[in-house]
A and B are shown apart, each in its own frame.
Chain A
């Protein structure tokens, strides 16, 4: 077995083990272990470069604040998500698959390496500087280009070590960390003993005439923010090995914020001391020791620093090589390390990485700051500290994080905008401040805040929230919707926008509103409207203009469009067919404060464009509120978008009648039956009759598609669930009987018979009543259940069983609230009807819903029950058993 094969195998094993979740029993690190490992990673010769860079900006006291407090402040915030690494035993790159998608994460990995790897070019430059300076002290002059040769030799030797694999790297690390500590100790001793203490303590940089001290202080803070934030990439592997969240978190904070920062300060002390002695500021510890102590100490330190730089380069190549290998599994580790080596070599050839150290730091932070913000917000505020690990690892059948072909567009856009936002504040290459106010926050912190807020706000938009939270089942929000919350008045500033939107929605359908008996009728009053389609919500505000109103809406609408928008539109959230006393109280509040309360008393869209029976409770409510009752009968809304096929029919024409049916004077005098009679009379409608009488042509070729949902029983052979529809035809799959839907909505059989759709619909109802009366009706089927507890998300309850008989509904399922398999009972007499959907949101298929006070259960058929699950028949049975048709 060859050596090469061994390395590849080792690396593959490393990659495999390096990405697996670490089990609790496998955790190795307590706080001190993790602290030492992370400190070792943070201590590198680039700390001296950072220290001397800071010393060019600010005095020693401000430098101390920056190195320690700024580093700790940033670390305290952005290290918080490492508790996720500890909890799940994974590194942040696995988590980031949920933020960017698996393919998006690959791109981010490449970007991270591009902005991070210049650190290693800094090491190579330092190595070359050390060699040159020291040889210079001994009077040896090097040829032109020797600097490049020296820096490239550091790249080459480091790459060769990295190519030798895990064992060599382990030994390198074991030697490297003590060596760096040794160099650090030597620098501290020499630095503090060679110049008086007050020289360092009272140090102030010699600034150019136009330099702004405040700007320099901000740059100092920024450099420290950037310094700690850009090191996170290489440190991501450690917290997953920690035994507790606290140890992982504080080890990360102190590893960088204390140990790493200490060496930055050491670098600054060295630079200040050198400037005091020689008048020249350097970041090379070798040169300092040779100058400030003795050449022999410089020679000794040369060997230490040389090896330290080569070792750091080797360890860096290894860490990022493994990271790349876990992302690009098909490319060999050797190739990846060579590519990294070439990248560093090119930076060395460019030769200006030290000169542009501050720029490169900020550019790195431009990427890391939004990245850290996304991770923070995603972990704490969006996914609420839960992740679907199986999707993160792309196990078969777990696709929550596939988003758009493997890319989470929202995460990627936020990252790009966060990056751009930093550049809008500050140009790190030219050093130009574009926005001084935001610059005071530092570009890194401003970008962190901007990206975090942007991502959070976007996640509040329902469509985007559903896109990024495809894993809600992993951490659903289970808090019940607050039905008792006092509804706000319809937002007065929102109203013109709403009218405009409504106007735009109805304009293709030429809405005409006729008002009857409305003279002198002013709010407060109660409006009962017919309910045909979503178009009702556009027509109603226009009919009630110029007044604002409140509307009762099923919670599902809140989830679909967002609670904030629904509240601004004046909606009161409730669940259908429950005895909601909170709703009654809120209706009374709306009336009491002088507004219009709009109720759609049928509580469901018309299945075939005809009204449902109304219950006396609506008349009792009117009597209780003692305000005028207005009816709004809308025609054409159903024709425009029937519930069984949500495609819009452009030929539809809208008309609405707004009529005061009970005045304030009459409300106290009329009986409940009289009031109900008046309302029912005005809310009686037949959309197909309206279409025929008004010769409204709807000639879309697909006009009958979906009609088999409400018309499920064959008129000829009498078989249930036998109908199917296509184009403009509805056909029985069993006997072949077929009907053509004409342009006026009438059905015609092949034998020339004409059928009015509502007649067919009601004809079916009679059979269901008969089945129930004869005791033959029983539904007992497997179903898929999703609960809607609030306006935020659905909760997957898996597969259960729906039973409907003369007693009502029984729903057997794994109740997510109690975490037990339970049966919920919905007594027949408690429900006068049932909410049904034929193709929920145009993609989820047919369903019915059952509600408790805290949950609405959306019940879908399984593959097994698909052929016998028909919402219309279930609704017929519910209405009969509930007493609506008795």
Chain B
């Protein structure tokens, strides 16, 4: 029962932190950078067919 209570209180704390954005989120810019890296990698892979 104690472990269950601890788990529940942790979950509540995590959800509260999530709501308050205590853990820095990926920003729109981060997603754009990720998309660019992905696209460049893909282009590189396609380019590899011609080597």
> Which residues of A are at the interface with B, using a C-beta cutoff of 8 A?
16, 20-21, 23-24, 27, 59, 61-62, 65-66, 69-70, 72-73, 76-77, 80, 83, 86-89, 214, 217, 221, 243-246, 249, 389-390, 393, 395-396
Query: Secondary structure of the B side of the interface?
Result: helix
Nearest-neighbor residue (CB-CB) of B18 within chain A: A87
Contact B15 A389 (CB under 8 A): yes
A62 interface neighbour in B14, B41, B51, Cβ under 8 Å: B51
With A21-B14, A389-B15 in contact, is A244–B48 under 8 Å at CB? no
Q: Find chain B residues with CB under 8 A from A244 CB.
A: 23-24
Q: Which 6 A-B pairs have the closest CB atoms?
A: A73-B41, A69-B44, A65-B48, A244-B24, A76-B38, A21-B14
- Asked whether, in the complex, the Cβ of A80 is within 8 Å of the Cβ of B15, the reply is no
CB within 8 Å for A243 and B42 given contacts A61-B51, A393-B11: no
Does residue B32 face the partner (Cβ distance < 8 Å to A)? no
Residues of A within 8 A of B18 (CB): 87-88
Instruction: How many A-B residue pairs have C-beta atoms within 8 angstroms? Tell me.
Output: 88
A70 touches B34 (CB 8 A): no
Contact A24 B22 (CB under 8 A): yes
Which of B23, B41, B42 is the one whose CB lies under 8 Å from A245?
B23
Question: What is the CB-to-nearest-CB distance from A491 to chain B, in angstroms, rounded to a whole number?
Answer: 35
Q: Please state if B10 and A221 are interface contacts (CB–CB under 8 Å).
A: no
A243 CA to B47 CA, complexed, in Å: 37
Interface string of B19-51 (1 = CB under 8 A from A): 000111110001000100110011011011101
A/B interface sample: 6 pairs, CB < 8 A? A16-B3, A65-B48, A72-B37, A87-B18, A89-B14, A249-B30
Given A21-B10, A245-B24, check contact A73 B45 (CB 8 Å): yes
Asked if B34 and A69 sit within 8 Å, CB to CB, the answer is no
- On whether the beta carbons of B51 and A245 are closer than 8 Å, the reply is no
A471: min CB distance to chain B, Å: 13
Residue of B nearest to A386 (CB): B18
A244 to B23, CA, bound (A): 5
User: Do A23 and B24 touch (CB < 8 A)?
Assistant: no
| B45 close to A70 (CB less than 8 A) | yes
Residues from chain B with a CB closer than 8 A to the CB of A390 are 8, 11
Contact A72 B26 (CB under 8 A): no
Contact residues in B for A217 (Cβ distance below 8 Å): 48-49
Across the interface, do B34 and A245 meet the contact criterion of CB distance under 8 Å? no
Taken together as a complex, chains A and B put the C-alpha atoms of A77 and B31 apart, in Å, by 11
Of A24, A221, A390, most B-chain CB atoms within 10 Å: A24
Residues on B with beta carbons closer than 8 Å to the beta carbon of A80: 34
B23 touches A62 (CB 8 A): no
Within the complex, the shortest CB–CB distance from B10 to chain A, in Å, comes to 5
Q: How many whole Å from A85's CB to the nearest CB in chain B?
A: 11
Not counting A83-B25, A395-B7, a sample of 14 additional A-B residue pairs whose C-beta atoms are within 8 angstroms of each other reads: A21-B7, A21-B14, A62-B51, A65-B47, A72-B37, A76-B34, A76-B37, A214-B49, A221-B45, A243-B24, A245-B25, A245-B30, A390-B8, A396-B4
A209 and B3 CA atoms in complex are apart in Å by 64
Q: Which of A65, A243, A249, A393 contacts B23 (CB 8 A)?
A: A243
Q: Which residue of B lies closest to A79 (CB)?
A: B34
Q: Which residues of B contact A87 (CB under 8 A)?
A: 18, 23, 25
Chain B residues whose CB sits within 8 angstroms of the CB of A77 once the complex forms:
38
Closest to A63 in B: B48
> Complex Cα distance A72/B25, Å?
21
B48 touches A66 (CB 8 A): yes
Which residues of chain A come closer than 8 Å to B41, judged between CB atoms?
69-70, 72-73, 76
The residues of B that contact A20 with a CB separation of less than 8 Å are 6-7, 10
A472 to chain B, nearest CB (A): 16
How far, in angstroms, from A389 to B41 measured CA to CA in the complex? 35
In the bound complex, CA of A389 to CA of B7 (Å): 10
Q: Decide: B3 and A86 in contact? CB cutoff 8 A.
A: no
Q: A24-B17, A76-B34, A245-B24 are in contact. Are A59 and B51 (CB under 8 A)?
A: yes
In whole angstroms, what is the CA distance A83 to B42 when docked?
Answer: 22
Nearest-CB residue, chain B, relative to A23: B13
One of A73, A83, A395 near B4 (C-beta < 8 A):
A395
- Which residues on the A side are within 8 Å of B49 (C-beta)? 214, 217
Bound Cα distance from A882 to B49, whole angstroms? 73
Pairwise interchain contact B24-A65, C-beta atoms closer than 8 A: no
Contact between chains at A86 and B44 (CB < 8 Å):
no
Q: What A residues does B37 contact at CB under 8 A?
A: 72, 76
Chain A residues, CB < 8 A from B11: 21, 389-390, 393, 395
Q: How far is it, in angstroms, between the C-alpha of A62 and the C-alpha of B49 when the chains are bound?
A: 8
Task: Give bound CA distance, A76 to B36, whole Å.
Answer: 10
Contact call A69/B3, Cβ cutoff below 8 A: no
In the complex the two chains form, what is the Cα distance from A65 to B8 in whole Å? 47
Task: Report the bound CA distance from A246 to B49 in whole Å.
Answer: 32
Most buried by B among A73, A221, A243, A396: A73
Chain A residues, CB < 8 A from B30 = 245-246, 249
Q: Which residue of B lies closest to A88 (CB)?
A: B14
Contact between A249 and B26 (Cβ–Cβ < 8 Å)? Answer: yes
CB-based contact B7/A23 at 8 Å: no
State which of B10, B34, B42, B51 has its C-beta within 8 Å of the C-beta of A23: B10
Closest beta carbon of chain B to A34's beta carbon, Å: 13
> Min CB distance, A478 to chain B, in Å?
15
Residue numbers in B under 8 Å from A16 (CB-CB): 3
- Looking at A27, A86, A89, the one whose CB has the most chain B CB atoms below 10 A away is A89
Q: Are B48 and A69 in contact (CB under 8 A)?
A: yes
Q: Is the CB of B26 within 8 A of A73?
A: no
Q: Which residue of A is nearest B4, CB measured?
A: A395
- What is the bound-complex CA distance between A389 and B11, given in angstroms? 7
Q: Which residue of A lies closest to B24 (CB)?
A: A244
Chain B minimum-CB-distance residue to A247 = B24
Chain A residues positioned under 8 Å from B4 (CB to CB): 395-396
Which residue in chain A gives the minimum CB-CB distance to B21?
A: A87
Min distance, Cβ B1 to any Cβ of chain A, angstroms: 10
| Nearest residue, chain B, Cβ from A89 | B14
A83 to B51, CA, bound (A): 36
Shortest CB–CB separation between residue B25 and chain A, in angstroms? 6
Contacts of B24 in A (CB 8 A): 243-246
Most buried by A among B4, B8, B14: B14
Among candidates B7, B23, B38, B45, residue contacting A24 with C-beta atoms closer than 8 Å: B23
Chain B residues lying within 8 Å of A73, measured Cβ to Cβ, are 38, 41-42, 45
With a cutoff of 8 Å between Cβ atoms, the chain B residues found around residue A70 in the complex are 41, 45
B45 engages A69 (CB within 8 Å): yes
